[in-house]
Chain A
Amino acid sequence: MPVGISFYTFQTLSYSIDVYNRKLEPTKDFIAFAAFVSFFPQLVAGPIERATHLLPQFYKKRTFEYNKAVDGLRQILWGLFKKMVIADNAAQIANEIFNNSADYSGSTLVLGALFFTFQIYGDFSGYSDIAIGTSRLFGFDLMQNFNFPYFSRDIAEFWRRWHISLSTWFRDYLYIPLGGSRGGIWMKIQNTFIIFIVSGFWHGANWTFIIWGILNAIYFLPLLLLNKNRANTNTVAEGRYLPSLREFFQMGITFTLTVLAWVFFRAENIGHALSYLSTIFSKSLFTIPYHSGMKTPILLVLFFILIEWLGRENKFAIENLKNKFNPAIRWSFYLIIIILIGLYKGESQEFIYFQF
């Protein structure tokens, strides 16, 4: 399959649907349209832009904006750290454990699932950061694609923060046209399952993705039916350094559910996922996991979580450095990040979402 086909297909679909629905005037500027469809930073893995947002930016005359360019570089740096340090290191461990899952204990498989959880986040949100940052250097604004999803307090919040450009695409072009949440209970259940199954199917024709979608629908439905799907729309622990105990448990439960769903996403097939999970939920869960070579990756992930937590009220974790610290501290921080990339970059892996 051509790289990134589902991304530019959806982007182009949004243009056609918006024109059909008369939300957008068809463009007569072929160059601008071609540039919108093939805009290089986000062509192969998003964010999936809407014509209403990106297309008009091609009509405007762009001038260099210092703050935007510096912000762009900052976001690229953070994206590179996420991809090269977090995702690529996590990938090596996750691949080893998932590919030889029969040889490991339940506790080690938990580590494998956790590493995959950070691999996929670092990989995909890292790409988005690089794409958004690069666009900013050229004076373009792309939509935010990830908003610290692993700090979500429920699954509904997770889905408002994970792959936002795809989730909102499905919301606007599938869920709402199907009737959304306006009908009765059965309509809500049906539409929720449709959107999550299609979302799974979007990733590829594999049952593992479908089950991953169904699982997320099952997680999401109780919130929707109890009308609690918008209970957490703000940032967790806003204005505070630490979450409350309640928030901490909510995040822990949501994160655990997400990790379990990722097992299906990563597994080779359903049988593999089920055997992986059955080993996790066995006596061997309570043994000491195999952890040779994992000390540094674990420390890096903890450092990453800390920086993401401190920056969770921004569009990306290190966005607000400019307002909080003087240039010497900022430059030192950038140098530390570059040194960490140089020292700890993992074995280069292709971006996961290039295959979709």
Chain B
Amino acid sequence: MKNFLIKTSLFSLLLLLIIVVGFILPVTPRASKSLLYAKIQKDSLLKNIDNPRIIFVGGSNLSFGINSQMIKDSIQLNPINTGIQASIGLQYMMDNTLKYIKEDDVIILAPEYDHFYGRFVFGSEALLRTIADIDYFDLIDLNTEQIKNTSNYILKYSFSKLKPTEYFGFEESDVYSVNSFNKYGDAYGHWNMQQQKFSAHDEILEEYNPNTIKLINDFRIELEKKGAILFITYPSFQSTSYNKNVKQIERVEKELIKNNFNILGTPERYKMPDTMMFNTPYHLLKKGVEYRTELLIEDIQESTKL
């Protein structure tokens, strides 16, 4: 028994050492070219763009879903598109944005429907990578729920730093790269591409999560304290996927209305024809981006009288 315990302890220590070394190794060349690494650029926009500002907060339905230049031309506010990927978690997106809010900022929050179900709002692997690749000391700021979600991926994250393909022989993606964004933060690398084959979003089967509304409400309160104003818009969502999730979407709409948020449009309005989608149920082709942006401009103008 003693021999067994000694050997298993030694093996565990060796494993732990590998995990720790992997974790603290600097960001790999591949990760530094990834979409998630664009957080640095987006934070810089939040920090440096002057008033008057309109800040879009959400996942890839925003990064792959709006044309900020059109917004700037129409409503004369300086747009900042902070959208990167939904799986960073809505909570982190809101917390991170709050750090950079200035007086009179207009915030347009575009949560994805998945953020209202299960634990998606707290983020997952993308959250861990976003923080750990840039500055892992920021992990201390995560709350228990976020840590619970991200801790599942610590092994994967640490071990990924040991893969040779993280250092050699990788190709930077045209679409999902740190360099895929324009000066406002819109992903535009795919604007001249054709639709790709992808599957519709499955029906959301997770339980409705009331924490999401609570977190958005807390966000609203903090924004108001800073003299900013919050609007909520619905994500552009592929028609086929929408039809599979009508009940779940109606529930989200009902809860948002019940909580008196300033809402732009309706979910139905942002239900996008399948032909306008690029490569996921939330990502739009250029014609879809333009169509969605026009809808959004109309809704913003109507609600803000800008």
Contact = CB atoms under 8 A, between A and B. Distances in A.
Interface residues of B, number: 19
A343 B15 contact: no
A169 interface: no
A299 B199 CA distance: 23
Contact of B14 (A96, A335, A342): A335
A335 B156 contact: no
B11 interface: yes
Contact of A343 (B11, B14, B160, B199): B160
Contact of B18 (A66, A70, A73, A335): A335
Interface in A302-356: 331, 334-335, 338-339, 341-343, 345
A342 B159 contact: yes
B221 interface: no
A337 B188 CA distance: 40
Interface stretch (B1-9, B77-85, B224-232, B247-255): B1-9
Contact of B197 (A73, A292, A341, A343): A292
Contact of A100 (B8, B18, B156, B199): B199
* Most interface-central of B11, B159, B163 (chain A CB within 10 A): B159
Interface in B1-39: 1, 3-4, 7-8, 11, 14-15, 18
B155 A342 contact: yes
Contacts of A66: 1, 3-4
Nearest to B202: A99
Contacts of A73: 8
Contact of A342 (B7, B8, B158, B197): B158
A290 interface: yes
A343 B4 contact: no
Contacts of B160: 343
Contacts of B15: 335, 338
Contacts of A290: 197
Q: What are the 10 closest A-B residue pairs judged by CB atoms, nearest first? A: A342-B155, A342-B159, A64-B1, A339-B159, A343-B159, A342-B156, A66-B4, A69-B4, A343-B156, A100-B199
Given A341-B155, A343-B159, 10 more contacts: A64-B1, A64-B4, A66-B4, A99-B202, A331-B11, A334-B11, A339-B18, A339-B162, A343-B156, A343-B163
